[in-house]
Amino acid sequence: MQEVVKSTMQDKAIGALYDSVKDRVLCSLAEFKETLKDWDFIPLMDKDEVVGAVAAKGNELHIGYKVKPTASIRGHLRSTLKKTIEQYGHAITTVASDNSRSLEFCKRLGFVVINEEQGKIHMRCDRSKYV
Please compute the mean of the pLDDT values over residues 21-48 and round it to a whole number.
Answer: 89
Task: Please state, rounded to an integer, the average pLDDT across all residues of the chain.
Answer: 85
pLDDT in tens, 100-128: 988 998 898 889 999 999 999 999 999 87
26, 40 contact by CB (below 8 A): no
DSSP state of 116: E
Q: How many structural domains is the chain composed of?
A: 1
State the CATH number of the domain containing residue 58.
3.40.630.30
pLDDT computed for residue 4 by the predictor? 42
pTM tops 0.85? no
Range(s) of the domain holding residue 88: 2-125
Distance CA 56, CA 58 (A): 6
Average pLDDT of the segment spanning 2-14: 70
Report if residue 131 sits inside a domain: no
Residue 121 covered by a domain:
yes
Q: In this structure, are residues 70 and 47 in contact, taking their beta carbons and an 8 Å threshold? A: yes
In this structure, what is the dihedral angle of CA atoms 30, 36, 40, 41, given to the nearest 10 degrees?
A: -50
Three-state helix/strand/coil letters over 34-99: HHCCCCEEEEEEECCEEEEEEEEECCEEEEEECCCCCCCCHHHHHHHHHHHHHHHCCEEEEEECCC
Q: What are 62-88's pLDDT values in tens digits?
A: 988 887 666 566 666 777 888 899 999
DSSP character at residue 26: -
**pLDDT for residue 23 is more than 60:** yes
Residue 130 lies in a domain: no
Q: Is it the case that residue 3 has pLDDT exceeding 80?
A: no
Whether 82 contacts 75, CB under 8 Å? no
Confidence grade of residue 1 (pLDDT, cut at 50, 70, 90): very low
